Structures are given as structure tokens and as C-alpha cells.
Amino acid sequence: MNPAAAALTTAWPASAARERAFCQALLADMLRIRRLEEKSAELYGAGQIRGFLHLYVGEEAVAVGAMHALAPEDNIVATYREHGHALVRGVPMNAIMAEMFGKLAGCSHGRGGSMHLFDRATRFYGGNAIVGGGIALAAGLALGDKLLRRAGVTVCFFGEGAMAEGVFHETANLAALWQLPLLFICENNFYAMGTALARSESQTDLCAKAASYNIATNRANGMDVLAVHAAVAAAAAHVRSGAGPYFLECQTYRFRAHSMFDPDLYRDPAEVAAWKEHGPLHAFTARLKAEHKLTEEEFLALDASAQREVDAAVAFAEAAAWEPVEDLAKDLLGTEAGA
């Protein structure tokens, strides 16, 4: 099992040594995402990864804090900006990189690409290219668990842009009405492509929108991995207790453009620079060093380990096979090869 998946825990570590190890595990996972995505951007430039590519750089604390607060029986639904969520949930980096290359060894057999990572084994139900598309799917998973009396919280990640979609409002209503075990996590990075929140929404208080459906809400600092972990642990406990759905807003910021096609002309460079000063990786690293929970040598070792994992994943994806042409119609309904 991937060490990140093995580290999934709902309990806050008791002893100082465990707390140190826990904090370093959070940092290690943020580094793994950052190095994976920096390499992906490079490979995109070289034409080895094609299609769309949406990077999560700057937002890593949300996925990492959240995943470490969840349990193996929980379901995860995410957006097209989901490499980090999949990785920390336990989808092997090799399978993620091969998917981005379009290879058969990818976690979606090379048919999904960057936006459609999927892995049944870790209950990672995508990867969704449609804004808000995952929200109704998550409600279906939660309803299934409720009807079949299965334990587990369905955790649905989406951007603040998705809250302008009807599917959010219809799902929030039903989730509250049916008391579904559903945790909505809104990754509010304040922009939906080039549109700032206040330019499209009359109500910019996202918790107020969710609360209007009688859903419990909270807001967390999405740049602080420990704050996210604590907020998600509390939110998941609420849902797990049978108290109904929960909405958590994590305020964060993407340091790069919306996607590789976006010239990023709509944000003031001073605003971007100000958020970077509170970057989740360097702020947490500095904090751990100040609290004597991390040495420079330990940081370098964690970073080198992340880089080695990325190098191995690239080698794996490069060597992996393409799907044979004869299989192209496989899984297509209405074809001889399909069902």
C-alpha cells in the first residue's frame, strides 16, 4: 500500500514524537504534489502530456490536510484540478503519470487523462471535467451508503465557481432533506478561470449560501495544512455521527494560471505575490523548523524522496505501452467490442 494511504488517520497524534512524524508526513505529501506538478508542467511543454492540464500549485494544503483526516471507507470526488487529491488518497504516482501520458497503465487506462483520474481501490471516484459535475455524483454515492447502511463519508471537492451552478443548489437541498453523509469541501481560490468571485456572485459569503439549505458550515484557512486537517476532522466527525451533510469552505489561492492555456492577465501580480508569501509549503516548513519539528537535513531528505518518486514515475510512464489500436472501441456502448 502507498505510504500516504497507510498514513490515513482520523486521530490527532498524542505524543510529541508522533506529532513530529505526523507533521513531516503532511509536509512530505505537499512536496510530492508540488514536485509531481512541476514535472507535469515541464512534460506538457515538451509535448509528452497533452490535452488539458490544471495545476494545484499553491493549494496543496487543502488536499493534504483533508486526506489525512479521512478514513479508507470514505468516498472521494474531485474536479479536474485533482492530481494532488488522487496522489495523497493513495493512487500510485506511476498510475497518475501514466494516465497523463495516455498510456494503458494509467489509472483510467489512458482514456481519461489529467482531468479524469479514477481509482476504485482507493474509492477515488474522479476527476471530473464538468464544473459542478462531481457534486451530484457525490450525492449519489452518499445516498447509496445511507440506503445500504454502509459506514463512510462521501467527500466532494469543488471550486467556488461550481457554487454558481444549479447542480450545487439542487444537491445541497436534497442532501439536507435526506440527511446524506456528504461533506462538501469548497476550494475557494477566488477565481473561476478569469472571473473573480465578486464579478459573478451577488452573495460572496459561500457559507451563507450553504447554510440557507440548513447545512452546518465552517470556514478554514486553506493555506494552513493543520487548520484544514482539524476542520476536516471535525466536519467528517459531524457527518459520520449521522448529523447530516456539512459544508466546509477552504480559502486558498492558485499560484499558477487556471490551465496551461491561460495567459493569466486578470490578476494583479501584487495580489499573487502577497498570497505567495503565505505559500503552504514554505510557511509550514518555516513553522516546523521554528518549533524544532524539522531540520534542514530532514527537509532535504523529504524533498529528494519526492523527486525520486517523480523521476521513477516518469520513467514508468515513458516505458509503458500504448493501448493497442484493435482495442479502441472497447468499452464503447453499441459497438461489437463494447458491451
Ligand X SMILES: Cc1ncc(C[n+]2csc(CCOP(=O)(O)OP(=O)(O)O)c2C)c(N)n1
User: Least Å distance between CB 76 and Mg ion?
Assistant: 19
The interface mask with ligand X, positions 177-206, x = CB under 6 A, is ----------x-x-xxx-------------
| Closest CB to Mg ion among residues 73, 271 | 271
Residues in contact with ligand X, total (CB under 6 A)?
14
Based on the number of CB atoms within 10 Å of its own CB, is 208 exposed (0-12), middle (13-18) or buried (19 or more)?
Answer: exposed
Q: Is 132 in the site for Mg ion (CB under 5 A)?
A: no
- Which of 35, 81, 103, 238 is in the footprint of ligand X by CB under 6 A? 81
User: Least Å distance between CB 191 and ligand X?
Assistant: 6
Residue range at the interface with ligand X (CB under 6 A); choices 65-73, 82-90, 124-132, 244-252: 124-132
Contact (Cβ atoms closer than 8 angstroms) between residue 33 and residue 88: yes
| Closest CB to ligand X among residues 238, 254 | 254
Q: Which does 223 bind (CB under 5 to 8 A by kind): ligand X, Mg ion, none?
A: none
| Closest CB to Mg ion among residues 74, 160 | 160
Contact (Cβ atoms closer than 8 angstroms) between residue 258 and residue 191: yes
Q: Is 57 in the site for ligand X (CB under 6 A)?
A: no
- Which of 66, 93, 131, 250 is in the footprint of ligand X by CB under 6 A? 131
| Closest CB to Mg ion among residues 178, 275 | 275
Q: Which does 117 bind (CB under 5 to 8 A by kind): Mg ion, ligand X, none?
A: none
Residue range at the interface with ligand X (CB under 6 A); choices 31-39, 67-75, 123-131, 305-313: 123-131
- Which of 71, 104, 130, 174 is in the footprint of ligand X by CB under 6 A? 130
Q: Is 94 in the site for Mg ion (CB under 5 A)?
A: no
Q: Is 189 in the site for Mg ion (CB under 5 A)?
A: yes
Q: Is 243 in the site for ligand X (CB under 6 A)?
A: no
| Closest CB to ligand X among residues 131, 317 | 131
Binders of ligand X in range 137-176 (CB under 6 A): 159-162
Taking alpha carbons only, the member of 78, 238, 89, 75 closest to residue 143 is 75
191 phi and psi, to 5 degrees? Answer: -135, 140
Q: Is 159 in the site for Mg ion (CB under 5 A)?
A: yes
**C-beta nearest to ligand X: residue:** 159
Residues that bind Mg ion (CB under 5 A): 159-161, 189, 192
Residues that bind ligand X (CB under 6 A): 81, 129-131, 159-162, 187, 189, 191-193, 258
